[in-house]
């Protein structure tokens, strides 16, 4: 599925280029093709891999960690645990991916000849301590692994052996917390060390230092931070966790994460941290980042959007598309399109979305305004449609053969807020997100979540209208965004189709 928006004109493009919960972007180029990886946290499969020919239009081509042997997420791993901050690089004819699994396996390295997969089994890195690992090679073939902190060791990436003692390189700007997301590059006569700092909330920013060797010493850029929106009312906030790439024409670009808060004070972002694109110039040996905005001047080459893929899935294929994710694992016997051809069948494990092992299949919400519909046959069980942030923050519409009910989980509060008899036959469940306009006071939430069913003639029967702020990072905490999908909470439940429709950019 193509994940980015369509340019408004031939001279502009919309930011974010990858909307929705696609955070911590890391990018590399192989020839004229760009590839990008993002964090996936508690979701399986892990580490989405995306492809572009123009830096603006992106298509998810797979997930690097799509086998249980690559990605272990125990049921006691918390929401916003799991896989953090990948670095994706192309070196010596191969693709290299290094990640941190904070839920038990530590730092892991994977390789592939085709970024769409398959990716190798993990190479463990027991001597690499810290999150957000980076890979860089010097002219002598040495591989340097730099981690949040900012520390560095030399490793053998083929076997995971550590070849040097860990050493501290740079602590970032004095007074700025959490130096993280390091990326090391050889550009011209210098090695550049790009980091994020200030924390991944409103004070997030990007800073850089340079040195003559990959081990430093590093001098900070006098203009640090080279990108931040802290202390502003800019519509894009939390800007940081960046990576640089050079285009074939010699121009430089930066991908980074940011959020789009909505509503009153303090502003709530519900889609998670998204991937943005901004141009970079070089002045006196330092990068100067262009102005980041929701509408950007197009790059100086033809945009190549490719064929858009419908947001509707009829479940006619034996395997699910790569944008579908589940919680912690996805046993094939519990999630299949083969049991009832043309339908997705889910077998219940956990009894509700409050439980970490619930059978759930969803996709990221990517637009502030959208409509999600699914046709469910609950004759053999109980299940439905949900918009989820974590186990303690989700809104559900759940159907049995007798009753349809809407449930809201907000922290310790867990309540059925509406119910009605189930119509005869399969039923269409529907969830809509609609931004609140205008903002009337500081307490106005970012959006309203409408939940209900459709009559056979398409008429929407609204059962509940819920405040969207309670499914936001500012309320729930953590690092993820909303995921909207299907679940089974008892027996087995069949879904004929799922339709995701953006209502506005």
- Regarding whether 246 and 145 lie in a shared domain, the answer is yes
Q: Classify residue 139: in a domain, yes or no.
A: yes
Res. 425: pLDDT tops 90: no
Span 119-150, pLDDT tens digits: 999 999 999 999 999 999 999 999 999 999 99
State both tokens at 296.
């950007």
Residues 6 or more apart in contact with residue 67 via CB below 8 angstroms: none
The residue from 268, 297, 326 where one domain ends is: 297
Burial 474-502 (b: 16+ CB within 10 A, else e): bbbebbbbbbbbbbbbbebbbbbbbbbee
In this structure, the answer to whether residues 333 and 265 fall within a common structural domain is no
Does residue 51 lie in a domain region? yes
Query: pLDDT band at residue 412, thresholds of 50, 70 and 90?
Result: very high
**Mean pLDDT to the nearest integer, 224-245:** 98
291 as an active site residue: the answer is no
Q: Which of 269, 297, 325 is the last residue of a domain?
A: 297
Confidence at residue 1, expressed as pLDDT on a 0 to 100 scale: 46
| pLDDT at 33 exceeding the cut of 80 | yes
127 and 46 within one domain: yes
Would you state the pLDDT for residue 505?
53
* Domain identity same for 262 and 332: no
Chain mean position to CA 293: 20
Q: What pLDDT is attached to residue 308?
A: 63
Question: What is the mean predicted confidence (pLDDT) over 78-83?
Answer: 98
Task: Taking residues 293-313, report their average pLDDT.
Answer: 86
Residue 39: pLDDT band by 50, 70, 90 thresholds? very high
In a domain, 302, yes or no: no
- Quote the pTM value: 0.96
What angle (nearest 5°) sits at the alpha carbon of residue 500, between those of residues 495 and 501?
Answer: 145
Q: Which one from 24, 105, 391, 474 is the annotated catalytic residue?
A: 24
Please tell me whether residues 459 and 326 are part of one structural domain. Answer: yes
For the chain, the domain total comes to 2
- pLDDT, tens only, 474-485: 999 999 999 999
* Alpha carbon distance 487, 342 (integer Å): 17
Instruction: Kindly list the distances between the CA atom of residue 301 and the CA atoms of 22, 243, 246, in Å, as whole numbers in the listed order.
Output: 25, 21, 14
End-to-end, the C-alpha distance of the chain in Å comes to 17
Assigned domain for 321 exists: yes
Alpha-carbon distance of 45 to 463, in angstroms, equals 33
How many Å apart are CA 361 and CA 44, to the nearest integer? 10
pLDDT at position 192 is 98
Per-residue pLDDT, 279 = 98
61, 115 contact by CB (below 8 A)? yes
Q: How confident is the model at residue 5 (pLDDT cuts 50, 70, 90)?
A: very low
Residue-wise pLDDT for 167-193, tens only, equals 999 999 998 999 999 999 999 999 999
Examine residue 305 and state whether it is found in any structural domain, yes or no.
Answer: no
What are phi and psi for residue 130, nearest 5 degrees? 115, 160
One domain, residues 142 and 274? yes
pLDDT at 336: 97
* For residues 405-415, average pLDDT: 98
Mean pLDDT over each residue of the chain, to the nearest integer: 95
Report if residue 133 sits inside a domain: yes
For residue 412, the enclosing domain spans 312-504
pLDDT value, residue 504: 76
- CATH number for position 419: 2.60.120.200
Q: Which of 54, 180, 197, 398 is catalytic?
A: 180
Answer whether residue 6 shows pLDDT above 60.
no
| Local confidence band at 281 (pLDDT 50, 70, 90 cut-offs) | very high
Q: The domain spanning residue 51 has which CATH number?
A: 2.115.10.20
Whether 180 is catalytic is yes
Do 163 and 196 reside in the same domain of the chain?
A: yes
Q: Are residues 353 and 444 in the same domain?
A: yes
Give 440-489 pLDDT, tens digit per residue: 999 999 999 999 999 988 899 999 999 999 999 999 999 999 999 999 99
Same domain, 265 and 324: no
């Amino acid at each position: 599925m193509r994940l980015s928006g369509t340019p408004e004109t031939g001279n502009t493009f919309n930011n974010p280029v990858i909307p929705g919960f696609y955070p911590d972007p890391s990018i590399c180029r192989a020839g004229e093709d760009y590839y990008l990886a993002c964090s996936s946290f508690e979701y399986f499969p892990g580490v989405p891999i995306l492809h572009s020919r123009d830096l603006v239009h992106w298509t998810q081509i797979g997930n690097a960690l799509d086998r249980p042997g690559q990605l272990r997420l125990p049921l006691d791993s918390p929401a916003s645990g799991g896989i953090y901050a990948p670095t994706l690089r192309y070196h010596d004819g191969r693709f290299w991916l290094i990640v941190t699994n904070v839920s038990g396996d530590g730092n892991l390295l994977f390789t592939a000849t085709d970024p769409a997969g398959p990716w190798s089994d993990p190479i463990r890195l027991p001597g690499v301590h810290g999150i957000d690992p980076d890979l860089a090679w010097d002219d002598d073939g040495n591989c340097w692994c730099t981690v949040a902190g900012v520390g560095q060791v030399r490793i053998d990436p083929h076997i995971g052996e550590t070849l040097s003692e860990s050493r501290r390189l740079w602590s970032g700007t004095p007074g700025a917390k959490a130096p993280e997301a390091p990326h090391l590059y050889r550009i011209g006569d210098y090695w550049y060390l790009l980091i994020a700092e200030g924390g991944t909330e409103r004070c997030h920013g990007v800073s850089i230092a340079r040195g003559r060797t990959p081990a430093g010493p590093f001098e900070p850029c006098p203009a640090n931070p080279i990108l931040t929106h802290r202390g502003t009312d800019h519509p894009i906030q939390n800007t940081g966790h960046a990576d640089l790439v050079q285009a074939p024409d010699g121009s430089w670009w930066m991908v980074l994460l940011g959020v789009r808060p909505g509503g009153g004070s303090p502003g709530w972002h519900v889609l998670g941290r998204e991937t943005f694109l901004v141009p970079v110039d070089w002045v006196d040996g330092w990068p100067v980042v262009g102005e980041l905005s929701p509408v950007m001047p197009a790059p100086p080459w033809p945009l190549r959007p490719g064929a858009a893929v419908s947001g509707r899935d009829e479940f006619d294929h034996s395997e699910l598309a790569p944008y579908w994710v589940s919680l912690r694992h996805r046993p094939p016997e519990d999630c299949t399109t083969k049991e009832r051809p043309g339908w997705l069948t889910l077998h219940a494990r956990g009894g509700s979305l409050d439980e970490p092992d619930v059978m759930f299949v969803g996709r990221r919400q990517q637009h502030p305004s959208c409509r999600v519909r699914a046709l469910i046959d609950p004759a053999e069980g109980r299940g439905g449609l949900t918009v989820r942030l974590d186990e303690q923050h989700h809104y559900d519409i759940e159907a049995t053969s007798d009753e349809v009910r809407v449930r809201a989980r907000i922290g310790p509060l867990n309540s059925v807020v509406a119910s009605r008899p189930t119509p005869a036959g399969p039923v269409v469940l529907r969830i809509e997100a609609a931004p609140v306009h205008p903002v009337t006071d500081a307490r106005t939430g970012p959006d309203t979540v409408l939940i209900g069913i459709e009559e056979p003639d398409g008429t929407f029967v609204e059962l509940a209208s819920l405040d969207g702020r309670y499914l936001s990072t500012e309320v729930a905490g953590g690092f993820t965004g909303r995921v909207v999908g299907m679940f089974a909470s008892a027996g087995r439940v069949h879904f004929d189709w799922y339709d995701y429709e953006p209502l506005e950019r």
